[in-house]
Amino acid sequence: MNMDSFISNWRRIHKQTTKIMAVAPNDKYDWKPADSAMTLGELMNHLWIAEAGLIAAAKTGVFPKEAPPQIKDTAELIAAYDKTHEEAIATVKAMTPEELAETVAPFGPDAAMSRSALLHLTMEHEIHHRGQLYTYLRIAGCEVPPLFG
């Protein structure tokens, strides 16, 4: 795994995600598009909390026992996400190629994967939920920025 390329791409993805997050109005955090869906606030918080948990799982093999409290202000949430993202990058940069190749099973023994694969899954997870965030914000009547550009 080319770590410099991975981190450069991860930073690009993170920047795109926080760009769309920035348009989320604080007064819509309790809104959701369907009864079975997460609220906008839960989705926003899930992005940063899940990334921190996935990186902890990549490092230790298990998810943290406790999640940080949910944030209900977009500016504060993005600041928390930026901070934990940089901490995540530092954690990943410190991993050796041997550690990245080791197998972990934070989702259970039937879903074992290399730490490297779990890092890629972390980006897939962010991209998936960023797509949901675009949809939520459009339905909620928010003006969303273009993904690229």
Beta strand extents in the chain (DSSP E only)? 103-104, 113-114
Query: What pLDDT tens digit does each residue of the chain (149 aa) get?
Result: 789 999 999 999 999 999 999 999 999 999 999 999 999 999 999 999 999 999 999 999 999 999 999 999 999 999 999 999 999 999 999 999 999 999 999 999 999 999 999 999 999 999 999 999 999 999 999 999 988 86
Which two structure tokens, joined as six digits, stand for 140?
A: 């909620």
Which two structure tokens, joined as six digits, stand for 100?
A: 């990245």
CA–CA distance, 51 with 91 (Å, rounded to integer): 12
- The whole model's pTM is what? 0.93
- Amino acid identity of residue 105, one-letter, is A
CA–CA distance, 137 with 78 (Å, rounded to integer): 16
